[in-house]
Structure 1
Amino acid sequence: MDLVQLRYFAQVAQLKSFTKASEALHITQPALTRQVLLLEEELGVQLLFRHSRGAEPTEAGVKLLAGAESIFRVVRDVTVEVAESSGRVAGTLRIGFPPSLGGFVIGMAVDAFQRKYPEVTFELREGLSNELRDHLLADRLDLAVLMIEADPPLVSVPLCAEELWVLQPPSGRILNSPRTYTLKMLAKQPLIQPGRTQLVRQYIESVALGQGISLHIVAEADALQVTKDLVRRGVGVHISPYSGIAADIKRGDFSGGPVQGLVISRYLVRRMDRPITLGIARFQEAMLETIQALHKSDHAIRPVTSKRAVIPS
Structure 2
Amino acid sequence: MELKPLRYFYEVARLGSFTRAAELLNLAQPAVSMAIRKLENELELTLFHRHERSIALTDEGKCLFAQAEKILQVVADAELEMQELKGLSRGEVRVGIPSMLGSFHFPPILMAFRHRYPNLTFSVQEGGTWQLQQMLEKGELDLAVIESETISDILEARTILREEMRATVSREHLFAERSSITLQEFFTEELVMFKPGYFHRKVLDRLAKEVGCTPNISFETNLVPLIRSIVKQGFGISTLLNMAVADDPDLVTVSFAPPIFLDLCIAWRKDGYLSRANRAFVEFLLESSRM
- TM-score with structure 2 setting the length: 0.69
Partner secondary structure for residue 103 of structure 1: helix
Distance in structure 2 (CA, Å) of the matches to 1:215 and 1:8: 47
Q: Map 1:153-164 to 2 at 5 A.
A: 153-164=154-165
Secondary structure at the residue paired with 1:288? Answer: helix
Match of 2:83 in 1: 83
State the one-letter code of the partner of 1:156. A
C-alpha distance in 2 between matches for 1:113 and 1:3: 36
Partner of 1:142: 142
Matches within 5 A, 1:18-33: 25=24, 31=27, 33=29
The match for 1:217 is: 216
**Residue in structure 1 matching 2:285, options 277, 284, 287:** 287
**Which of 247, 251, 268 is equivalent to 1:250?**
247
Q: How far apart, CA to CA, are the structure 1 residues paired with 2:74 and 2:197?
A: 34
Distance in structure 2 (CA, Å) of the matches to 1:82 and 1:208: 49
Asked if structure 1 preserves the Cα contact closer than 8 Å seen for 2:176 and 2:254, the reply is no
Deviations 1:39-58 (A, max 9, x none): 22332455474675x65444
Kept after mapping to 2: 8 A contact 1:89/1:120: no
**How far 1:227 moved relative to its partner?**
4.5
1:69 partner SS: helix
Maintained 8 Å contact 1:162/1:263? yes
Q: Secondary structure at the match of 2:240?
A: strand
CA distance in 2, matches of 1:50, 1:112: 53
**Counterpart of 1:268?**
266
Q: Secondary structure at the match of 1:250?
A: coil
**Residue deviations 1:154-182, cap 9 Å, x none?**
3221111012243445xx35456449553
Q: Is the 8 A contact 1:80 1:91 kept in 2?
A: no
Aligned to 2:13: 13
- Structure 1 residues 119 and 145, CA, compared in 2 at 3 Å: closer, same or farther? closer
Structure 2 CA distance for partners of 1:231 and 1:251, relative to 1, 3 Å: closer
Instruction: Please show how residues 101-180 of structure 1 align to structure 2 within 5 Å.
Output: 101-115=101-115, 116=117, 118-120=119-121, 122=123, 124=125, 126-129=127-130, 131-148=131-148, 150=151, 152-168=153-169, 172-175=171-174, 177-178=176-177
For residues 118 and 52 of structure 2, what CA distance do their matches in structure 1 show?
A: 44
Shift in alpha-carbon separation, 1:72–1:196, aligned structure 2, 3 A: closer
Residues 169 and 232 in structure 2, CA contact (< 8 A), matched pair in contact too:
yes
Contact 1:48–1:55 (CA under 8 A) maintained in structure 2: yes
Residue 37 of structure 1: CA displacement? 1.6
Does 1:182 find its partner at 2:181? yes
Q: Is the 8 A contact 2:169 2:175 kept in 1?
A: no
What's the TM-score, normalizing by structure 1?
A: 0.66
1:67 is displaced (CA, Å) by 4.3
**Paired amino acid for 1:42:** K
2:235 maps to amino acid: V
Partner of residue 34 from structure 1, selected from 23, 30, 33: 30
Separation in 2 of the partners of 1:48 and 1:113?
49
How far apart are 1:239 and its partner, in Å? 0.9
Distance in 1 separating the partners of 2:229 and 2:16: 31
State how far apart, in whole Å, the 2-side matches of 1:26 and 1:77 are: 19
Greater mean deviation of Cα atoms: 32-41 or 172-181: 172-181
Q: 1:272 to 1:39 in 2, by over 3 A?
A: same
Q: Unpaired segments of 5 or more residues in structure 1?
A: 294-313
> Aligned partners of 2:2, 2:106: CA distance in 1, in Å?
35
- Relative distance call for 1:125 and 1:114 in structure 2 (3 A) is same
Paired positions, count: 280
SS in 1 for 2:266: strand
Provide closer, same or farther for how the CA distance between residues 291 and 264 of structure 1 changes in structure 2, counting only shifts above 3 A: same
Identity %: 24
Aligned residue type for 2:189? Q
Tell me if the contact between 2:48 and 2:55 (Cα under 8 Å) persists in the aligned partners.
Answer: no
State the Cα deviation string for residues 123-170 of structure 1 (Å, max 9, x = none): 6362334x444444444443222222646433221111012243445x
Q: Is the 8 A contact 1:89 1:117 kept in 2?
A: no
Structure 2 counterpart of 1:274, one-letter code: G
What amino acid sits opposite 2:69 in the alignment? E
Root-mean-square deviation over aligned CA pairs: 4.3
